[in-house]
Chain A
Amino acid sequence: MSFKKSKKINIHSKNITVVRFAGDSGDGIQLLGNQFANATAISGNEISTLPDYPAEIRAPQGSIGGVSGFQIAFGDESVMNPGSKADFLVVMNPAALKVNLKYLDKGSIIIANSGNFTPENLKKAGYETNPLEDGSLSNYRVISIDANHLVEETLKEDGLSKSEILKTKNFFMLGVLYWMFDLPIEVTAKWISEKFKKNPKIAEANKKVLYAGYNYAENTEIFDAKYKIEKGNLKKGKYHNVTGNEAVVYALIAASRKMKRKIFYSSYPITPASEILHTFAKLKSSDIVVFQAEDEIAAICASIGASFAGNLAATGTSGPGLSLKSEAIGLAVISELPLVIVDVQRGGPSTGLPTKTEQSDLFISLFGRHGDCPLVVMAAYSPADCFDTVYEASRIAVKYMTPVIVLSSAYIAQGSEPLRIPDDEELKPFEFPTIPPPDMFRPYIRDEKTLARPWVYPPMIGYAHRIGGLEKSNIEGNVSYDPDNHQIMTNLRHEKINKVLSEIPPTEIYGSGSELLIVGWGSTYGAIRSAVNYFNYKSNKNVACINLKYLNPLPCDLNEKISMFKKVVVVEENKGQLAYVLKANGFKNVLSETKVTGQPYTTEEVIRIIEKNV
């Protein structure tokens, strides 16, 4: 298929563009969004995406409760989050318009599939008259496209049923957008061929419609503008657009390959962490062992067993599951076995808001076990950063023989951005605790530098040993109820975690001045950095920020860095957990700004917090 020659059109240039797709949850909105995201990424844009779906699997068609959304910000390197307000809203029905109008500023563009704005659908969405025609959208630019009719025209001679034809309408809209943003249409065409390879007729129809949409945009008078998006200044290399949950999987596999051991991932289905298990399940091999356990406790226990047997072991979960795993985490701590625990945080307590984001599992990660039970806690700040954080967590777990909790969140777990795939030599090497010869071996003999005990495992000849949850005598590792020994072992478990301080890079201060420091952790990174940029480029106020990746132990230069500022505000999506921890660590004057709506902080919200404090 070929394109007709371009006519003269205006070209608008922008640094960051935000497009929001919305439609029925059964309509393939996520698929549409993901294809668009891949096309923008392949064009060299920095991107950040976020799906927004209802908790119910399929709410009634056309209803307000059944609206599914997908937002993407793309452009140059200033893209740090999926954005709060959309420049373009693509709606597939009246309910989608109604739900999503709040994401638009005046002057934004609405692209609507008018074919679905039927009296019945308007009624379901609570509209008395058609908003596309009654002037109520005069604050926006509305582009109506009757995709339903246009796909019927396109495919009238292809011998498909009416419902098969209507299912292609998303690709028509996608074709229109590819023209508007000058995106590579071939990638999606290729993807369609692959996806529908068992049904070539449907594949051809979808491709035909995709190109028809592109040509329609090229030829009709309703578009007088094309949008040129500034490209990101991405480092050279191979990229893949990943969600945070996918990045966790790739990091664990990369780590296991680097250390030349198997990866054993065991988990129980839980929103929003299940995609880690799904992604792993597709990759099963004799070195990538994936186990769906009968419950959360079995999931972590199986991983502990695999770690005892000498494998890189991990488990993933969300809040309720982390509660259930608490006792077993204690076992891993006293057994001093490496284990990576990924907690994809969601709204709590209890079942809470399963599909919504929050940062409220910091306390349970730091303190949620009986006894003095220290371990390493880290937080990932973006989808691609889940790769770096989980890789580093694996490395630390093995080097120090300790469980490491990695905090992700629904927001970054389901959002996506380009991950640069590292070459093997770019990945940090793994260091194993020294293993003495069999006659010198004792289960709790320690590596002098790291205080880690040796990781010996069956069937290594000469190293058979017994460990367990009962307190063990220092070095020898026999069951011990000796009071002084318990003091020694408790101290050693703490000292060992403090040794991890030497792994923590200097805390990076982003921004300028010494007036105001915004402290965040995890997934508020994008909103906070963008807000800081806003002040440093667009006003004469100086603001700086830091994003804490290491939450236990806290970096040793934190005190020095925080003391440089007159005012320190902690911004987090909970009731002030990090602020509490910092105060307990002697940072008496930190202020706390929090939000718990199940929605991530937007740049605008952080800007308002900064304005209040400078």
Chain B
Amino acid sequence: MNKLTANDFSSNVTIKWCPGCGDYAILNSIKRAMAEIGMEKEKYVVVSGIGCSSRFPYYVGTYGYHTIHGRAIPVATGVKLSNPDLSVFVVTGDGDAMSIGGNHLIHAIRRNIGIKVFMFNNRIYALTKGQASPTTLFGSKTKTTPEGNIDNAFNPINFALSLGSPFVARCLDIDLEINTSIFKQALISSGFAFIEILQKCVVFTDNEFEIFKSQNTKDDFIVNVEDGKPLIFGKNKNKAIVIKDYTPQIIEFDKNNPPSNLTIYDSSNYILASIISSLLPPEFPLPLGIIYKVNKRSYEDMYYSSVKGKEYKNLEEVIGDGIYEIR
């Protein structure tokens, strides 16, 4: 087989997201990740619910199913459990996954079904034109919160981690290179994977993530987590998050002479990941990258191992005891 390119994963459908929408960049990263993995497109199934991001399946050339609001995860679960050799991923939004579909999300993580959930978080219901979502920040003004939001926002990665997801990551829509790598690792991971992608909506939340993107502010408001490295951030690379007595704190230091007791990140350390995933601006920079990654046996693996060798020759064998004959 020839080496695949991102274009091999395109469909022939015109993309209808708003010009400037963060979804374009995410689409490119996912197509690149699939190309790098090098598996035929027919082995992928993309399942989505309802929302802007959920139009995603129409824009890739794999098998795809655009389902109903909140229900992409159970549909994907049915695909994966009935045919575990397929690579099944869900594209969803903050409202679709965490509000109407919240029950399915928590149970998919709990049972560790091997589907990958890419949650495009624009912190708003955009398709329905601007209502507060479960990730809309406290105090934000939206069409349904004209006086300011009095609901508290979910912290999606902390939520996913608390339920035991074996792969948890957070990234920014525009980071093509980093995202391609994260998405690839997510797609080839064996169990459930949760990836929160902060995605700007040009219509309703155009400036929502500006502090994480602007050259002037991004270094002070983002910390990129990397295994084996300290949690250093700041324009001058002179700040770090360190954890002492289970308490995260920011220290400043001389860039040329960093202290020797900096906290080194380890994405397989659940307690460390839990603390880091809980950090939010403005007190702390926003952690980005692969927050947690461990091997955990998937639901479908356990299912098929538990029934291995069980076969029925005919219906009588299915029914078993209690069969009698009338002659």
Contact = CB atoms under 8 A, between A and B. Distances in A.
A236 B326 contact: yes
B74 to A, nearest CB: 4
Nearest to B75: A305
A309 B316 contact: no
A313 interface: yes
A241 B104 CA distance: 38
Interface in A453-477: 457-470
Given A309-B45, A458-B86, A466-B57, A302 B314 contact: no
A304 interface: yes
A301 B67 contact: yes
Contact of B57 (A42, A235, A468): A468
Interface stretch (A87-95, A172-180, A250-258, A375-383): A250-258
Contact of A264 (B40, B81, B312, B318): B81
Contact of B316 (A38, A306, A421, A466): A421
Interface stretch (A286-294, A428-436, A541-549): A286-294
Contact of A234 (B45, B103, B326): B326
B244 interface: no
B259 interface: no
Contacts of B40: 459, 461
A327 B326 contact: no
Interface in B31-47: 40-45, 47
Given A294-B104, A309-B82, A239 B326 contact: yes
A124 interface: no
Interface string B265-282: 000000000000000000
A285 interface: yes
Interface in B98-138: 103-104, 106-107
Contacts of B307: 284-286
Contacts of A287: 311
A462 B62 CA distance: 10
A297 interface: yes
B17 interface: no
Contacts of A304: 67, 75, 78
A302 B318 contact: no
Interface in A219-241: 234-241
A501 interface: no
B323 A466 contact: no
Contact of A468 (B66, B74, B80, B304): B66
A421 B319 contact: yes
A358 to B, nearest CB: 29
Given A238-B323, A301-B71, A470-B66, A459 B77 contact: no
Contact of A283 (B13, B73, B81, B318): B318
Contact of B66 (A293, A327, A328, A467): A467
A376 to B, nearest CB: 21
Contacts of A306: 78-79, 81-82
Interface string B8-24: 00010100000000000
B3 interface: no
Of the four ranges (under 10, 10 to 19, 20 to 34, 35 or more), the interface on chain B belongs to 35 or more
A571 B265 CA distance: 72
B303 A289 contact: yes
Contacts of B68: 327-328, 330-331, 469
B191 interface: no
Interface string B42-74: 111101101000000110011111111001011
B13 A301 contact: no
A112 B118 CA distance: 66
Interface in A284-328: 284-287, 289, 291, 293-295, 297-299, 301-311, 313, 327-328
Contacts of A465: 63-64
Interface of B: 11, 13, 40-45, 47-48, 50, 57-58, 61-68, 71, 73-83, 85-86, 103-104, 106-107, 303-304, 306-308, 310-312, 314-316, 318-319, 321-327
Given A308-B45, A331-B67, A464-B62, 4 more contacts: A284-B307, A294-B74, A305-B79, A327-B68
Interface of A: 38, 41-42, 44, 194, 234-241, 250, 253-254, 257, 262, 264, 266, 283-287, 289, 291, 293-295, 297-299, 301-311, 313, 327-328, 330-331, 335, 421-422, 424, 457-470, 478-479
15 contacts: A240-B323, A241-B322, A262-B82, A264-B82, A293-B107, A301-B67, A302-B78, A302-B81, A308-B65, A313-B82, A327-B68, A458-B44, A459-B42, A464-B42, A466-B58
Which 10 A-B pairs have CB atoms at the shortest separation, nearest pair first? A305-B78, A468-B66, A302-B78, A301-B74, A298-B74, A466-B64, A294-B107, A306-B82, A305-B75, A285-B310
